[in-house]
């Protein structure tokens, strides 16, 4: 089944087809470059945004139907808001955020078609696919760096605050489990067991994520190898002057130029950066899933 088949079979066949094909091409190119360099070229991102708005404006003139450009502007606005939140919460990089905005501009959101919005289905699928993709990528990194990972994992486990938290969780579980088995109502018993399992798995999953981040995603690079948007792990201060750090949510070109000069002068060494998960391939997978299966929430409704 192809998602939104009404649009595919109706008068909007050509605009819809063009929008989906161009979006797929942008996601495909972005996925390759993201996997290779952890970057999505600006010409892909801004090209998708600009061409999305211009094409929909052109379609509005050709078909004498303003809904094309209106849908494009609404889609761009909605996904700009989503991308802004995800970027400044540190969940996505700049390339991930901009390509999502491009999809909003290209495919658009038509407020008159509440149940058949491709981008809403895509976003829901992207959340599920992204979670599974991120977990699999983490396991891949652990496999590649298993010795470093185990050292970091064990190091985190013996920290004083983690040991205290482990004791607190253990005491809570010791108190909770006997109460669960005395309860006669099965659904309450299952709820209590689920809660105990969730507490335990959340604790170890948090340690797993932290260990993966420190052992597999941090690397030292020379300032000349930095690219705009790289995440800096620690504050870089020369004298008493702040140059860059994690609060910047991505280093700027000006900061990179300053670091290169300071590196040449011997005032800074290599910079510790955090490599993000290349998430654009998960967008591509979610895009294909949405084309084939549609919005998963529709199945539940």
From 175, 176, 231, 173, select the one nearest 202 (Cα to Cα): 173
User: Over the range 225-250, which residues count as b (16 or more CB within 10 Å of their CB) and which as e?
Assistant: ebeebbbbbeebeeeeeebbbeebeb
What does the pLDDT read at residue 11?
53
**pLDDT by 10-residue block (mean), the chain, 301 residues:** 46 82 95 86 91 93 89 91 76 78 91 70 88 88 89 89 85 75 68 76 85 84 83 86 83 88 88 84 93 73 54
> What is the CATH architecture assignment of 5-133+278-300?
Up-down Bundle (1.20)
The H-or-E segment that residue 232 falls in is strand 231-232
The domain spans of the chain are 5-133+278-300, 143-216, 218-274
Beta bridge partners of 94: none
Cα–Cα distances in Å, from 162 out to 127, 148, 155?
30, 19, 10
Place of tokens 């161009």: 22
Structure tokens that stand for 53 in this block: 């708005």
Burial (0-12, 13-18, 19+ Cβ within 10 Å), 292: exposed
What does the pLDDT read at residue 190?
73
What does the pLDDT read at residue 40?
85
What's the rounded Cα separation, in Å, for the pair 168 and 164? 6
């Amino acid at each position: 089944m192809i998602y939104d088949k009404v649009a595919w079979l109706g008068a909007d066949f050509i605009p819809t087809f063009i929008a989906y094909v161009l979006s797929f091409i942008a996601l495909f190119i972005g996925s390759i470059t993201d996997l290779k360099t952890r970057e999505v070229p600006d010409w892909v991102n801004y090209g998708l945004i600009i061409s999305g708005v211009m094409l929909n404006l052109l379609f509005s003139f050709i078909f004498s139907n303003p809904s094309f450009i209106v849908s494009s502007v609404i889609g761009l606005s909605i996904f700009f808001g989503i991308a802004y939140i995800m970027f400044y919460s540190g969940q996505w990089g700049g390339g991930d955020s901009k390509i999502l905005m491009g999809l909003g501009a290209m495919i658009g959101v038509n407020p008159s078609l509440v149940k058949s919005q491709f981008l809403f289905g895509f976003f829901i699928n992207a959340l599920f696919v992204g979670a599974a993709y991120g977990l699999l990528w983490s396991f891949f990194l652990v496999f590649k760096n298993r010795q470093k990972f185990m050292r970091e994992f064990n190091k985190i486990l013996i920290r004083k605050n983690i040991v205290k938290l482990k004791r607190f969780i253990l005491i809570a579980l010791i108190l909770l489990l006997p109460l669960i088995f005395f309860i006669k109502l099965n659904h309450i018993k299952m709820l209590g067991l689920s809660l105990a399992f969730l507490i335990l798995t959340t604790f170890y999953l948090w340690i797993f994520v932290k260990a993966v981040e420190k052992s597999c995603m941090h690397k030292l690079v020379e300032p000349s190898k930095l690219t705009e948007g790289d995440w800096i792990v620690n504050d870089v201060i020369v004298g008493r002057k702040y140059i860059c750090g994690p609060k910047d949510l991505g280093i700027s070109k000006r900061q990179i130029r300053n670091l290169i000069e300071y590196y040449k002068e011997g005032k800074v060494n290599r910079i510790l950066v955090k490599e993000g998960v290349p998430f654009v391939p998960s967008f591509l997978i979610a895009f294909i899933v949405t084309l084939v299966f549609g919005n998963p929430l529709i199945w539940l409704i």
